[in-house]
Structure 1
């Protein structure tokens, strides 16, 4: 019995490290992607990220070897569509507001999942903390450093997608190996790549841009989504959300180091409030 408990603890610890690694990779890729926005557009970069990731996943995991049931196909279609839309919305948000702030708003999605799964007094306190943090980030104060309201709206849309991603990701995580991620990315590419082709046109075929797009796909989709899917097998939705709570802080640091996006003290405090709120919902 002790060996079983130790094995379970080891599995949960490895899952936690996998999720942290996915966050680091994801945010580094996002910072690189933002440099490419002025050259090929947000839709073009999203098409690179999703399209190349789908291709890599299909080649590595060859999911067609295990046919999908109708139920699995339906879940994968929703999961993939959510991934594609989440990528597009958050990239549009990145193009208008700093990375850390965009992700701080986006993390309201997993926070909601965590709160809905357990309504304890501590969860109520966490919600209040998150509301306070979001209040100081919303473009309603008329300060010189006020955020672009359209960018904030895009981040809020991405938050809804992130919540759905956790729900449907948990459903498809029981599938064999990386099959679920591969099918999901293929579904996302069928949705996003045509949009990118229409908006960006032939510039997407520029070899140098394609190489950068491939790197973005590996850092921002192929690697993090695979690590997240592995972690979902050992972590509950609430625990997964708790680990995800560090995303705004990591994004803010990535934006500061790679893009020179320096936030105001109030914005840092708002991000800290949201991170603390997300962590509180799942602390045992």
Structure 2
């Protein structure tokens, strides 16, 4: 079964779409951080996921399809993992910069990818990823970060790994139905935390407008652009390109928030990126039943 499903044509459009999606996603995360003084990290997370859920429900209208009970259970777990991933990631941004937070969160998908690997050479990529993460952890080094923020980022990494595993199971349902109901579940998980932290400030018109912008930039637009890229790029190329996201996050945070990283932190992020590229480039896509 071939993994090359690109139609004839220039690769510039899908590559540009993927890069634009990553820039939009991380710029949205940086803008979200500017709302922390108004509604807190939990409040921003509730706004982003809540508006994203409304957008996806309007687009996919999942109620039009019946949902088997076994799929409903996996979608529930998928949505809970998605909600915790968003909530913990935004809590991490309270005390650590965006770029390192994204790099630490990458430990989740890297662990999932490595768990399926049986190649001895992949031990080198594990070592490189551990080196990068070790330089970011609060171990007293020059690039050490706030322990609480790192703990939240590691929690987000665990939630991301569970999101991948549960998402594979939830994907047995119709894709649009699974993602829209999963996002609705995530919104319901986060809502109590957002309301507890922000209270009525969450419903101020200016705050709602800002939350909608964050939701579009961080969810609706990048996911749509990624879909354009996925339809025209080899999956392996797509995965390799996505590995540079921690660097894009760092640049977005520097431009929007003025967050500047030290040489050790940039080196640590580079280690995570190279490990991710190495693991992705050597992976062998496994065909799933019904996959295109």
TM norm structure 2: 0.86
RMSD: 2.8
**Residues 104-119 of structure 1: pairs in structure 2 closer than 5 A:** 104-119=103-118
The question of whether the paired residues in 1 share the 8 Å contact of 2:24 and 2:221 is answered with yes
CA distance in 2, matches of 1:226, 1:158: 23
CA distance 1:120–1:239, change in 2 (3 Å): farther
**What is residue 217 of structure 2 aligned with on the other side?**
219
Range with greater deviation from structure 2 (164-173 or 193-202): 164-173
The question of whether the paired residues in 2 share the 8 Å contact of 1:169 and 1:229 is answered with no
**What is residue 101 of structure 2 aligned with on the other side?**
102
CA deviation profile, 1:28-75 (whole Å, cap 9, x unmatched): 110000000011111111110111111111112111101211121111
Which residues of structure 2 form unaligned runs of 5+?
Answer: 283-292
**What is residue 288 of structure 2 aligned with on the other side?**
none
The alignment covers a number of residue pairs equal to: 279
Higher share of residues assigned helix: 1
2:9 is aligned with 1:8: no
**What is residue 23 of structure 1 aligned with on the other side?**
22
**What is residue 43 of structure 1 aligned with on the other side?**
42
Report deviation, 1:197.
1.0
**Residues 76-155 of structure 1: pairs in structure 2 closer than 5 A:** 76-141=75-140, 143=142, 146-155=144-153
**What is residue 163 of structure 1 aligned with on the other side?**
161
Q: Which secondary structure state, in structure 2, belongs to the residue aligned with residue 213 of structure 1? A: helix
Which of structure 1's runs of 4+ aligned residues deviate more than 4 A?
4-7, 13-21, 225-243
Report deviation, 1:239.
7.4
CA distance in 2, matches of 1:162, 1:55: 22
CA distance in 1, matches of 2:87, 2:171: 23
CA distance in 1, matches of 2:166, 2:63: 20
CA distance 1:9–1:238, change in 2 (3 Å): closer
Range with greater deviation from structure 2 (188-197 or 28-37): 188-197
**What is residue 276 of structure 2 aligned with on the other side?**
278
